[in-house]
Amino acid sequence: HAALNSSKKDAANDINIVVTVQEGAACIITEVVQQSQSSPRSLDVPICLSTMGEGLIKARQPRDASQRLEEAADLYRELLGQNHIDSGRAVNALAKSLVKVNETRAALVRFGEASSTFEECKSSNHFDSIANLQGMANLFVTSGDFQAATALYENVISRKASVHGEFSVATAKTINDYAVILAKNGRMDDALARYESSRFTYDRALEGLPPSMSWLNHGESAAKCGFDMALIHLNIASIKSKKGDIAGAINSYETGVLGLRKYKEELELSGDDAGRNKNSSHMRHLVSALGRVGSLKLKQGAKDAALEAYAALFKEVDNDSPTASRLEKAKAHIKCATIYRQSGEREGNKHAILHLREAFNMYTELYGPKHKDTIAVATSLQQWVEESNHSR
């Protein structure tokens, strides 16, 4: 039995998923062509080519995927005509695959072709058409053409507002997507304005929503929207912090923390295990945000407030938490130790040593006793203990 399991594992390890996808897709296409009652130019072939391309993208083979998707797009246009919505979808899929292989110019051309197709078949407000424009806008941002990107994003936001409503979650999400792209490309002022606009739109979208209504008409849960809004507050806080607005950053971080706590409570009330899962995204964001609040409070000189923030962080992290969260806790212990150490009081020194010892234990567990950070903490701990003993 053990030998059989071993051979199965070896066989599984020998499987090349990319080759398997390619060979499987080729077999499907061959079979479709052979069994098709019409000519080999039937729609079955481009459908199979598209499926193969999508599979290759999932297998992280975007260049091979682009070839198959280009073949599919050509066949769709040959069979259905240039101005058919399925032709537009096929060209859009090709454009997205070209983005993945950094063929920016070619991708922009294909996005443009798809856009023209959607316009010609009067599908400008269709989901695929709007998504196509948004993909093109993202590409303009990453290529540095912010003027073109801004115009396109304004168009996308306008269309989303037209289809879903000005103050809808779909519109808010698109504004937020634009803010994220701007922030990643260093356009902090523009990103901040968009985050604020997205937050306001979310607020209006959820305004007056009865507690009993857990799902909105766009398919998003109200709780999930609350989580998205919490992340927006955290992103606003991050930008304000970078711009030197410490008070504004703290306020936004604390608002975000409240939102994350509420989301956590709603998950727990609904029986969702993610509410208690320390590896969940909301928990990681919560720990990180509390750490930032503590650091910013320290910058303000509000040591007691910083200690409160770090104490809240300690409660959220345990041995089941991911490494990043546990490291955040270890660093917070060091900061608490420093705060107490600077008080110069005997009681403060006791607390400082306790926190530094906790940090040492955590660093030892995370990195081992010979890591440079562990050694640095151990050295300080030894020095502080010796000084404390001499002062008695």
In a domain? residue 84? yes
Task: For residues 312 and 346, state if they share a domain.
Answer: no
Quote the pLDDT of residue 219. Answer: 44
Task: For residues 92 and 114, state if they share a domain.
Answer: yes
In this prediction, residue 285 has a pLDDT band, given cuts at 50, 70 and 90, of very high
Say yes or no to pLDDT of 211 above 50.
no
**Mean pLDDT along residues 235-261:** 95
**Mean pLDDT along residues 124-133:** 78
Task: For residues 190 and 280, state if they share a domain.
Answer: no
Q: Which domain holds residue 270?
A: 223-317
pLDDT top residue among 361 and 107: 361
Task: For residues 152 and 84, state if they share a domain.
Answer: no
3-state secondary structure the chain: CHHHHHHHHHHHHHCCHHHHHHHHHHHHHHHHHHHCCCCCCCCHHHHHHHHHHHHHHHCCCHHHHHHHHHHHHHHHHHHHCCCCHHHHHHHHHHHHHHHHCCCHHHHHHHHHHHHHHHHHCCCCCCHHHHHHHHHHHHHHHHCCCHHHHHHHHHHHHHHHHHHHCCCCHHHHHHHHHHHHHHHHCCCHHHHHHHHHHHHHHHHHHHCCCCCCCCECCCCCEHHHHHHHHHHHHHHHHHHHHHCCCHHHHHHHHHHHHHHHHHHHHHHHHCCCHHHCCCCCHHHHHHHHHHHHHHHHHHHCCCHHHHHHHHHHHHHHCCCCCCHHHHHHHHHHHHHHHHHHHHCCCHHHHHHHHHHHHHHHHHHHHHHCCCCHHHHHHHHHHHHHHHHHHHCC
In this prediction, residue 4 has a pLDDT band, given cuts at 50, 70 and 90, of very low
CATH number at residue 114: 1.25.40.10
In a domain? residue 255? yes
* 18-27, 61-70, 301-310: range with lowest mean pLDDT: 18-27
Quote the pLDDT of residue 207. Answer: 77
Say yes or no to pLDDT of 370 above 70.
yes
Task: For residues 28 and 119, state if they share a domain.
Answer: yes
pLDDT top residue among 56 and 240: 240
In a domain? residue 148? yes
pLDDT digits (tens, 9 = 90+) for 25-52: 566 656 655 555 455 567 777 888 888 7
Task: For residues 341 and 307, state if they share a domain.
Answer: no
Instruction: Give the domain-ending residue among 292, 317, 342.
Output: 317
Task: For residues 312 and 337, state if they share a domain.
Answer: no
pLDDT digits (tens, 9 = 90+) for 335-346: 999 999 988 788
Say yes or no to pLDDT of 363 above 90.
yes
**Mean pLDDT along residues 152-178:** 88
Instruction: Give the domain-ending residue among 178, 206, 234.
Output: 206
In a domain? residue 202? yes
Say yes or no to pLDDT of 291 above 90.
yes
Instruction: Give the domain-ending residue among 265, 288, 317.
Output: 317
Task: For residues 327 and 359, state if they share a domain.
Answer: yes
In a domain? residue 1? no
In this prediction, residue 216 has a pLDDT band, given cuts at 50, 70 and 90, of very low
The tally of domains found in the chain comes to 4
Task: For residues 202 and 238, state if they share a domain.
Answer: no
In this prediction, residue 275 has a pLDDT band, given cuts at 50, 70 and 90, of low
Task: For residues 379 and 349, state if they share a domain.
Answer: yes
